[in-house]
């Protein structure tokens, strides 16, 4: 069943679209970052064009990576938040490690969120699992997410395994399906 046109629109949650993930040689560089970024831009264009809510997550930490003082934690230029779009910084993989994010998600009437972006095997996985346990339903756009280079030779198998695990806690969709339905989501 699709959400009614009278329902609030789903929130597009852009997870960690940061320079760190797109910089070759960095520990957290993602596979197929350009492909995932292009899909994220298509969805951002759809959401922004319809004036639907957009949320941006930004991973920060006090470690040698994701150091908030570093320019590597900046949002990727093409996906940078615009005025009026929500932003949340989170120190741990789950977006729920941000108290502001928890407060916001607890205060909204609808918790239908479309999750895209980077760190499929960290932020997206952790947020989908924790959201599931809080009765917040996420839909993950499988071709608009990317994960870091795994410590294994078979990156495709690693990615499939992570997607399969997330599928236990979130609905998996393609960007083409989401765009074809005009952003409508199953409830």
Which residues form the domain of 176? 11-180
Whether 6 is in a domain gets the answer no
With contact defined as beta carbons under 8 Å apart, do 85 and 55 qualify?
Answer: yes
- Measured between alpha carbons, how far is 65 from 76 in angstroms, rounded to an integer? 16
- Whole-number pLDDT of residue 69: 62
pLDDT of residue 68: 59
Does residue 64 sit within a domain?
A: yes
Collect all residues with Cβ–Cβ distance below 8 Å to 164 and sequence separation of at least 6: none
pTM reported for the whole predicted model: 0.88
What is the model's pLDDT at position 27? 76
Q: Would you give per-residue pLDDT tens digits along the chain (187 residues)?
A: 444 444 678 999 999 999 888 888 877 788 778 889 999 999 999 999 999 999 999 988 765 555 556 677 788 888 999 999 999 999 999 999 999 999 999 998 767 899 999 989 999 999 999 999 999 989 999 999 998 776 667 888 888 999 999 999 999 999 998 888 776 655 4
pLDDT of the residue at 92:
92
Q: Would strands 171-173 and 137-146 be described as parallel, antiparallel, or unpaired?
A: parallel
Instruction: For residue 58, tell me if it sits in a domain.
Output: yes
- Residue 37: which CATH number? 3.40.50.850
Whether residue 144 is contained in a domain is answered as: yes
The candidate with the shortest Cα–Cα distance to 141, out of 33, 36, 11, is 36
User: Strand order in 112-118's β-sheet?
Assistant: 86-90, 54-59, 11-15, 112-118, 137-146, 171-173
Indicate whether 187 belongs to any domain: no
Give domain status of residue 3, yes or no.
no
Q: Domain tally for the chain?
A: 1
């Amino acid at each position: 069943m699709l959400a009614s046109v009278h329902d609030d629109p789903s929130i597009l949650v852009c997870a960690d679209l940061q320079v760190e993930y797109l910089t070759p040689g960095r520990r957290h560089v993602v596979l197929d970052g350009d492909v995932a970024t292009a899909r994220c831009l298509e969805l951002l264009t759809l959401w922004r064009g319809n004036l639907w809510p957009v949320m941006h997550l930004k991973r920060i930490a006090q470690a040698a990576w994701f150091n908030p003082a570093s320019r590597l934690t900046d949002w990727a230029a093409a996906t940078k938040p615009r005025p009026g779009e929500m932003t949340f910084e989170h120190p741990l993989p789950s977006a729920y490690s941000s108290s502001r994010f928890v407060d916001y998600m607890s205060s909204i009437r609808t918790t239908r969120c479309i999750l895209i972006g980077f760190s499929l095997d960290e932020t997206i996985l952790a947020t989908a699992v924790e959201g599931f346990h809080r009765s917040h339903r996420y839909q993950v756009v499988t071709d608009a997410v990317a994960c870091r280079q795994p410590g294994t030779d078979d990156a495709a198998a690693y990615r499939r395994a992570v997607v399969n695990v997330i599928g236990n806690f979130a609905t998996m969709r393609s960007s083409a399906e989401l765009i074809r339905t005009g952003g409508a989501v199953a409830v």
